[in-house]
Chains A and B, each alone.
Chain A
Amino acid sequence: MNGSAPPPPVRPLPARLLDLVLWGGLAVLLLISAPAVHLGDLTLLGAHSDNMRNFIGGFAHPDFSQAGSIVMDMLQTLEMALWGTALAVIFAIPLGLAASRNVAPVWVQQPVRRLLDALRAVPDLVIGTMFVLAVGLGPLAGVLAIALNTGGVLGKLFSEAVEAIDPQPVEGVRAVGAHPLQELVWGVAPQVAPLWTSFGLYRFESNARSATILGLIGAGGIGQRLFESLGAFDYGQTATIILVIVIAVSLIDLLSQTIRTRLL
């Protein structure tokens, strides 16, 4: 080789300016938002430490007298999460495909996207309240609320996985004269299967937590019991319930993590 080696590549000025604007913008946003969230009240954490100590002290003596039925309630909550997630996956598969640029024409894809946005935007507490009015108090309202909200989330995640696939195998399937639905089954599905399963499991984990919160609106399960004992200032009972939730959620996290690492 003749002559000296060229200098290392330099990021062009516009790219560096864009970085500055993006990161600087984020910093400015954080500063503007600080008063709105009463960030100054952090000092009260120290001032009110006695109240905190009383509250936490109550948890030091968990009451295990009803541990058996608490665990049964926890199981009911997990069953809600399981059914809610399963129904959500069933919604999300067709919606996710219909929301993908590389599968559906734009006049299908855009409306479906907006529908998914709407499903995600409405909090599941609101959807849950609606279903409580429709099907009455109890776990089914919770299941349906989880299904709709999670359906919106999974539909979006599924469609993003579909948009990231390699188009070449799909073209390979098309080239043998396959029907468009067969292209989806044989060309698209095998490529997205690991990601879809991973997303489904991840949502099951977080739904186990959401299902707890849904107890607040009378959707049954351990959440309802949690809010009842909190309302009754029964901190011993509350401590046991929280312990059961923490153990259950950790076990599910561990389990689904194991499955996901095996899949990918």
Chain B
Amino acid sequence: MRDNVKGIFHRADANLALDRKEHVRSRDLQIRMAESAAFIVTGASRTFGQTKALNDVSLRVERGEMTALIGPSGSGKSTLLRALVGLVALDAGPGRVEALGLLVQTGGKVAPQARAVRARIGFIFQKFNLVGRLTLFSNVMIGRLGRIGFWRGLFGLWSHADRSLAMHALHRVGIAEQAGQRAANLSGGQQQRGAIARALVQQAEIILADEPVASLDPASARRVMEALADINREDGAAVVVTLHQIDIAKHYCRRIVALSAGRIVYDGPPDGLDPERLRSIYGAEYQDAAPAVFGAPVSA
């Protein structure tokens, strides 16, 4: 099963050589920019009504890391992820988010350059957030919007290079055959891989994934997690993924950050999360989050 899944991402053909060249280029870029972290969050708070979704959170994520954000429902992990790219504004105050060395938001205001930062960060949503009536191909092309000229993007005048970039991305996640179909007609797993292809054509230096497998069956979930791990490994992109199930987080991520009631309550390797600690993080939800819904762990 695992070999099959891996096969999708490692087809030996001409495209691979092109992809590699792309990787080398993006690695050079990373070396040049190595001095800046992927994210630096300091003193971030966000209140919804009476609830503190984030309560004075500080966090640093390095480039190339694969990090899981875990915690019970309502612990603030989605809010934190969205705040990282300014899709959620923090409370007014000293809270501050920097991504790739650029300011994303501070004092409750999203910075003007947030759009330029988003162009370099792929965001994967729980509900895929593809435009259902557009073809899968068009949805992937949308990933180029932040990287090309305004008018070109507005009218969809994609260059030949951009089109082939999109097809390579679709091929890499194994759904190139469906390029001409409307996104709404695809299965959940295919849509989520389409969303990953959209992040790939962004040539994203960071991938953020908000519960990317919560709406998927176990087999699709595994393919999506493998795709994210593959991008982390092969392209050196930092991946931050929020997950409800602990075993998935432990299997794919070397660093786990646990949130509870808007505060970071654990930050470290998977081994440090013993059942006692998990029970205290998840409380009543422990039984739901802990069982191995993802099947027996596969050794890496």
A interface residues (Cβ-Cβ under 8 A, vs B): 168-169, 171-179, 181-182, 185-187, 190-191, 193-194
B143 / chain A contacts, CB cutoff of 8 Å: 176
Residue B266 interfacial (CB < 8 Å): no
B131 / chain A contacts, CB cutoff of 8 Å: 169, 172-173, 186-187, 190-191
How distant is the Cα of A171 from the Cα of B88 in the complex, in angstroms?
11
Residue among B116, B117, B120, B127 with the most chain A CB within 10 A? B127
A190 / chain B contacts, CB cutoff of 8 Å: 131-134
A191 / chain B contacts, CB cutoff of 8 Å: 131-133
How distant is the Cα of A181 from the Cα of B153 in the complex, in angstroms?
10
A178 / chain B contacts, CB cutoff of 8 Å: 115, 142, 145-146, 153
How distant is the Cα of A178 from the Cα of B142 in the complex, in angstroms?
8
B44 / chain A contacts, CB cutoff of 8 Å: none
Q: Is the CB of A169 within 8 A of B129?
A: yes
B127's closest neighbor in chain A, by CB?
A: A168
Q: Known contacts A176-B202, A190-B133; is A171 also within 8 Å of B118 by CB?
A: no
Q: Known contacts A171-B87, A191-B133; is A177 also within 8 Å of B125 by CB?
A: no
Q: Is the CB of B202 within 8 A of A174?
A: no
A173's closest neighbor in chain B, by CB?
A: B142
Q: Known contacts A176-B119, A186-B145; is A181 also within 8 Å of B127 by CB?
A: no
From residue B113, how far is it (CB to closest CB) to chain A in Å? 10
Q: Is the CB of B133 within 8 A of A177?
A: no
Q: Is the CB of B130 within 8 A of A172?
A: yes
How distant is the Cα of A190 from the Cα of B182 in the complex, in angstroms?
11
Interface residues of A, dominant DSSP: helix
Q: Is the CB of A176 within 8 A of B146?
A: yes
How distant is the Cα of A106 from the Cα of B212 in the complex, in angstroms?
34
Pairs of residues from A and B, 4 with the lowest C-beta to C-beta distance, nearest first: A177-B146, A172-B129, A177-B119, A177-B118
A181 / chain B contacts, CB cutoff of 8 Å: 150, 154
Q: Is the CB of B150 within 8 A of A177?
A: no
Q: List 8 A-B contacts (CB under 8 A).
A: A169-B132, A172-B123, A177-B117, A181-B154, A182-B153, A186-B156, A191-B131, A193-B133
Residue B195 interfacial (CB < 8 Å): yes
B129's closest neighbor in chain A, by CB?
A: A172
A172's closest neighbor in chain B, by CB?
A: B129
How distant is the Cα of A239 from the Cα of B125 in the complex, in angstroms?
63
How distant is the Cα of A169 from the Cα of B146 in the complex, in angstroms?
16
Return the CB mask of B76-119 against A: 1 if under 8 Å, else 0.
00000000010100000000000000000000000000011111
How distant is the Cα of A174 from the Cα of B262 in the complex, in angstroms?
25
B132 / chain A contacts, CB cutoff of 8 Å: 169, 190-191
Residue B198 interfacial (CB < 8 Å): yes
From residue A142, how far is it (CB to closest CB) to chain B in Å? 34
From residue B103, how far is it (CB to closest CB) to chain A in Å? 15
How distant is the Cα of A174 from the Cα of B146 in the complex, in angstroms?
9
B119's closest neighbor in chain A, by CB?
A: A177
- Of B127, B138, B198, the contact of A176 (CB 8 Å cutoff): B198
B125 / chain A contacts, CB cutoff of 8 Å: 168, 171-172, 175
Q: Known contacts A172-B195, A174-B87, A174-B118; is A179 also within 8 Å of B150 by CB?
A: yes
From residue B278, how far is it (CB to closest CB) to chain A in Å? 31
Return the CB mask of B149-178 against A: 1 if under 8 Å, else 0.
010011010000000000000000000000
